[in-house]
Amino acid sequence: MGIDANPPQTGYVVAHAGSQIRAWLTGPAGGPLVALSHGASMDHQMFDEQLGPLIGAGYRVLTWDIRGHGRSQPMGRLPIEIADMTDDLLAILDHLDVSGPICVGGQSLGGYIAQELVRREPERVAAVVIIGSTCTTMPIAWWEQWALKSSAWWFVPWPWEHLKRTIAKSTAQRPEVRTYAENAISMMSKTDFVQIWRAVTQSIRPKPGYRIEVPLLLTHGDQDRTGNVARTAPAWAARDPRCQYEVIPHASHNANQDNPEHFNSVLLDFLTEHYPAGGT
């Protein structure tokens, strides 16, 4: 059976926190759910190359546009934090009558949402997939914390057109992925981008003794130079007892897009072992 490169998706609109949040669901109705959250300034389409393989393996896939991104407009209630974005995802799951446990995954900002969900409501999560994110519950050096918290101010005077090109270039290696990234960023306003980034700067909240106890797939691209993602990943992998750590070759920050073949193979192997479509 071949993989459908453009599987049909059912769209949903969930009114929450002053925004109209858009979500898409695809795959067999009885399949276990994989919910994927995109990175800052991206949108749900960053997971397009994962849909076919996941559906072909028997999974349902939920993607969505985080508030202020893509078609989830307006930004709604401010200020916004990672906890608020997690509430938005929970509102979508409740709207779809999904109680879990599910596999929750995300790239960069989306990985922060996945971590927040499994920390707050572990009973709703069977497995976690992280792409290019740092751990929000481990401490970082004081100077890294300072750099992160001050970074939102750097973007304020930065000309928006140049900033969009810079983000797209640093996000991916493949030209077509950079084009996608720039187009996705262009759907945002600079004001909304800065609001989202301020939420990112407040995301690190160390919790000594905390562990993610469910199976965790931790990935990043071998060329990912974003923040301290690559440098801190080994320590994160060593902390969590059920973590599988994989470096995606020939890939930058959007590793699932830069090298989808390798990433999809790793993802499906992980899901087959820890969250099988054929049942528990």
Q: pTM score, two decimals?
A: 0.95
CA distances from 193 to 141, 144, 185 (A): 26, 21, 9
127 lies in a domain? yes
250: left (phi over 0), alpha (psi -120 to 50) or beta: left
Q: What is the pLDDT of residues 144-199, one digit of tens each?
A: 887 777 887 888 889 999 999 999 999 999 999 999 999 999 999 999 999 999 99
In a domain, 279, yes or no: no
Model pLDDT, residue 1: 41
CA distances from 225 to 48, 129, 179, 251 (A): 23, 20, 19, 10
% the chain with pLDDT above 70: 98
Count of structural domains within the chain: 1
In-domain check, residue 2: no
| In a domain? residue 256 | yes
In terms of residue numbers, what domain contains 14? 10-274
Q: pLDDT tens digits, residue range 76-122?
A: 999 999 999 999 999 999 999 998 799 999 999 999 999 999 999 99
Domain CATH for 21: 3.40.50.1820
- Residue 3 covered by a domain: no
Q: Dump pLDDT digits (tens) for 41-88.
A: 999 999 999 999 999 999 999 999 999 999 999 999 999 999 999 999
Label residue 24 by pLDDT band (50, 70, 90).
very high
Q: What pLDDT score does 4 carry? A: 61
The pLDDT value given to residue 183: 97
Q: How far apart are CA 72 and CA 54, in angstroms?
A: 24
